[in-house]
Chain A
Amino acid sequence: MSRFPILRRADRILVQGITGTQGSFWTQKMLGIGSNVVGGVNPRRAGETHLNLPVFDTAKTAMRETGFDVAVMFIPPMLAKTAAIDAIESGAKGLVILTEHIPSHDVLEIFAASRAHNTRIVGPNTAGLVTPGETFAGIMPGHNTNIFKPGHIGVISRSGSLGTLICLNLTRAGHGQSSFVGIGGDPMIGTTSLDALRALDEDERTEAIVLVGEIGGAMEEAAAEYAAGMKKPVVSFIAGRAAPPDKRMGHAGAIVSGNAGSYPAKQAALERAGVAVADTPHEIVDLLRVRLAQPACNSS
């Protein structure tokens, strides 16, 4: 578990909201590739089994019964705080919050609780985590072998759909993935680009990293600073270059005000750090091929 946000098959996963339509659908997909799902939570159906898994009233009970490692939440926004704090107080080491549109004051309380209990959070508004061929937690097509293939490229993405496209492009070009870390499209998230980059830098299976960012905030700039000192090659794509200013581009975090969060600022910071920045998603594959052929990297 020390690897979180990089998942391993041994990680025992609890699904909060397992009996709902999406919870059921994605739990089946997760089980399909061999994810170690040990149970679910729905207070109204505690004691039943669902998908042959035990359903508990709370994460705390689930922890006593199963000793799970990571909880993944299929919970609507207005109930997310209660569920997240239940998981955190249960002693979960990692928590994946898929929910979008959680009121931000609830998110602040979730983070305060996570600090008090040392729970690492991925999200909110993430599509989840995938270790191809091994396990996944979330709403990514981790079970689709045309898209995800075991390999040595670590992928970090704020977006699920774009991250999926990029993994597909990598797989087709013969580059499997060591791990996909969906960090989420919200401005306030538990695992930042930098946190994910550091985790993949320390991961022995990962040889190179694709960092998929977006306009808004300063996460890519912070990651760039770290990338400058890395030996593993880093290639990046930042979505939102053509976005008009002061508009929220779908994700709550994707907004440019003045110079803060702008594409040029992110591009400059990444290139200064020796990170190759692609103009289109497909160009990532070409840049990666070049960088992998070079000896050692990113030192500026």
Chain B
Amino acid sequence: MATAEVPVDEAVIDQPLLERHKKPVCLIVLGMAGSGKTTFVQQLTSRLHAKNKPPYVINLDPACKEVPYPVNIDIRDTVNYKEVMKQYSLGPNGGIVTSLNLFATKFDQLITLVAKKSADTDIAIFDTPGQIEVFTWSASGTIITETLAALFPTVVVYVIDTVRSVSPVTFMSNMLYACSILYKLRLPFIIVMNKIDVVKHDFALEWMKDFDVFEKAVNGDESYHANLSRSLSMALDEFYQDITTVGFSAVTGEGFEAFLKAVDAAVVEYETDYRPEHDRLQKLQAEERTKEQNRQKQKFKSDFEKDNERQIPSSQVSDIFLRHRAVGGESSSDEEGQEGNPEDDDDEEDGAGYKSFHKYLEEQKKKQQSKPNKVNKPSSS
């Protein structure tokens, strides 16, 4: 696998991260394959450039052929997807997952780079792999989103293909999946109805507003379990109220301003809802950690004191004692001759130490014997 080292500036890591409101907003762009994520990012980038607010763009799709927008960090520079496939003998899907996993291990460096750019950019855009489940149902996707959310205001942008959503079943299934992602990532969420230059998204808005209309549409689409769909659309009714929806055309750029407004609102939501909760949790975790540390310290201390009292754990003493019995030596002088010798040969001092140790052992033994001790029981029998 060809890896290109991303330069790291150690000093930046140590610096306290820049003021919160100065941090760029991270947009994680998700969507099914073919929903137009990349075109969406392209349009967004060019519009932001036109506004003289160039975004920081990160491409996380290792399998795309070319990126049609100026990209600041490209996963393809770090991981060669074709090589990964060859080296680990994986299929295309496994290759993408593994590439993303490999990239996630270097994600801290990316964070540093994004943090460095804080002063110049308002928005960092993350374009994700085409296969949505590679990102939502994998460990690396979770790691990436959670790391981002911990450090930057993070907003999930779910891109929907409006043209295909004309079919109520597809629409519903798309919405169910969006709902699934909402619960998985638990971050501010914007649904972008893409391709409104082809089909206006008014029909979808109406479905979302008035579920009777949707009901009718579903019933028109025969063969569908009417009951289930009714209940599901009712549940989704709640979902729509919680969610911001923006119509967007990745081709003409229609809806760009509305999208920016939605992002602003989402950032506020992040700051008011997510951030304090995260801080609280972090504090809790830190407290937990210090508590655990203290507990460990206490435990160590008490263990240490206990050790000092006893010097040698009784089990060790009894072991030695029993072994001597097994050898058959009755007197203590015997054992000194047997075991002391090799030590004596080696070193005088060691021998002396051994003797004093032995003396101590003897004392201990006597002490043990004087007590009605468990250890002695087997020997008496």
The answer to whether A and B interact is no
